[in-house]
Amino acid sequence: MAIETYIKDLLYRYDCVIVPEFGGFITNKMSARIDTDSHSFYPPNKQISFNHHLIHNDGLLANYIASAENVSFEHANHKILETVSSWKQQIKKTAIQIQDVGVLNLSDNQHIVFEPSNNVNYLISSFGLSSVDSLTIERATEKVIPLIPAQPERKGVPAFAKYAAAIAIAATLGYGSWTGYQNKQQEREFAKQQDDLNKKIQSATFVIDNPLPTIELNVSKEIPKPYHVVAGAFQFRENAQKKIDQLKSKGHDAYILGKNKWGLTQVAYASFYKKSDAFKSLASIRKNDSKDAWLLVKKFN
């Protein structure tokens, strides 16, 4: 059983896939970008990172393997631990290559270093989109030499032509002066009409004898919280209710989250809008209450 295949499948749908006793693969949505150096356009995608502190079994990977291979949850967990044991021995000697996910190496201070792969876009909304390279456009510069028209040789102008030109200029100036005078008169008349209209509007009083009553509408839409700290999943609802009573006696505001696809009733400690708040609560609950608590990401459309 190659759990690498199941890890890749889950990365399309979830933001965090934990391999128990080894670490967790976390995805963050990245916006589209342009690399100005390589002239490449990259569509929106999920950037994968690795956190070696996320080692507690949240049940996501084991449940998926059990469903895909039609085996028990315990059998799937056993196979995962066998793979993890093999990885821990391998990484001491050579790098671990997880196809289309990334490469895991051991640093000098014995910490796992992860280098993500960019071969696959795990963002479902960008499925099928790949990077596009554009060619660099080199524009040629041309020197433009202006053309200077040749000046014709000037000859003497007849006297009657000079007089005709002078008369035409005088007539044009006279017509222009008369037209300008008319335009100014029209502008003054229009300004006076506008001023009279503004005075009438300012002095007018609008009265509504029977105004309609004011209606106040209070519309609120609660946005579901996508991150849930789960206490457990139960086959019988009565057992789920007992778990809720137990958690409430300890001060938790527990409730029934709903049924999963296997028909088990899930009980949640609490739900959150932010992933960071959910991880903080999960760490506190595992430290002070139960190490079996795990994080469920359940987004709503």
Count of C-beta atoms within a 10 Å radius of residue 207: 5
Nearest residue to 65 (alpha-carbon basis) of 53, 73, 54, 56: 73
For strands 112-116 and 265-272, give the pairing.
Answer: unpaired
Residue for token digits 């066998």? 82
pLDDT tops 70 at residue 147: no
pLDDT at 219: 47
Nearest residue to 130 (alpha-carbon basis) of 138, 140, 118: 118
pLDDT one-digit tens code per residue, 204-221: 444 455 555 555 555 455
Q: Give the predicted TM-score (pTM) of the model.
A: 0.43
SS3 248: helix
Q: What are the chain's domains?
A: 3-132 (no CATH), 227-297 (3.30.70.1070)
Count of C-beta atoms within a 10 Å radius of residue 120: 16
Q: Residue range 6-14: average pLDDT?
A: 87
pLDDT at 156: 53
pLDDT at 241: 93
pLDDT at 206: 44
Q: Residue range 35-56: average pLDDT?
A: 80
pLDDT at 81: 92
CB 254 within 8 A of CB 231: yes
Query: Which region among 33-37, 71-75, 260-264 has the lowest average model confidence (pLDDT)?
Result: 33-37
pLDDT at 18: 93
Count of C-beta atoms within a 10 Å radius of residue 266: 19
Angle 15-19-20 (CA atoms, 0-180°, nearest 5)? 125
**What's at 200, amino acid-wise?**
K
pLDDT at 17: 92
Residue with more model confidence, 14 or 192: 14
Q: Residue range 115-127: average pLDDT?
A: 78
Q: Residue range 285-293: average pLDDT?
A: 87
Residue with more model confidence, 104 or 175: 104
Q: Residue range 220-233: average pLDDT?
A: 81
> What gap in Å lies between CA 190 and CA 196, rounded to an integer?
10
Count of CA atoms in the C-beta half-sphere (13 A) of 132: 8
Q: Residue range 234-258: average pLDDT?
A: 90
| Tokens found for residue 181 | 């005078």
Phi and psi torsions of 172, nearest 5°:
-65, -45
Query: Which region among 39-53, 142-156, 275-289 has the lowest average model confidence (pLDDT)?
Result: 142-156
Mean pLDDT of the chain: 78
pLDDT one-digit tens code per residue, 153-212: 555 555 555 555 555 555 555 555 555 656 667 667 767 766 765 665 554 444 455 555
pLDDT at 139: 66
> What gap in Å lies between CA 233 and CA 66, rounded to an integer?
16
> What gap in Å lies between CA 8 and CA 48, rounded to an integer?
11
CB 265 within 8 A of CB 237: yes
pLDDT tops 80 at residue 74: yes
CB 57 within 8 A of CB 73: no
Q: Residue range 65-74: average pLDDT?
A: 89
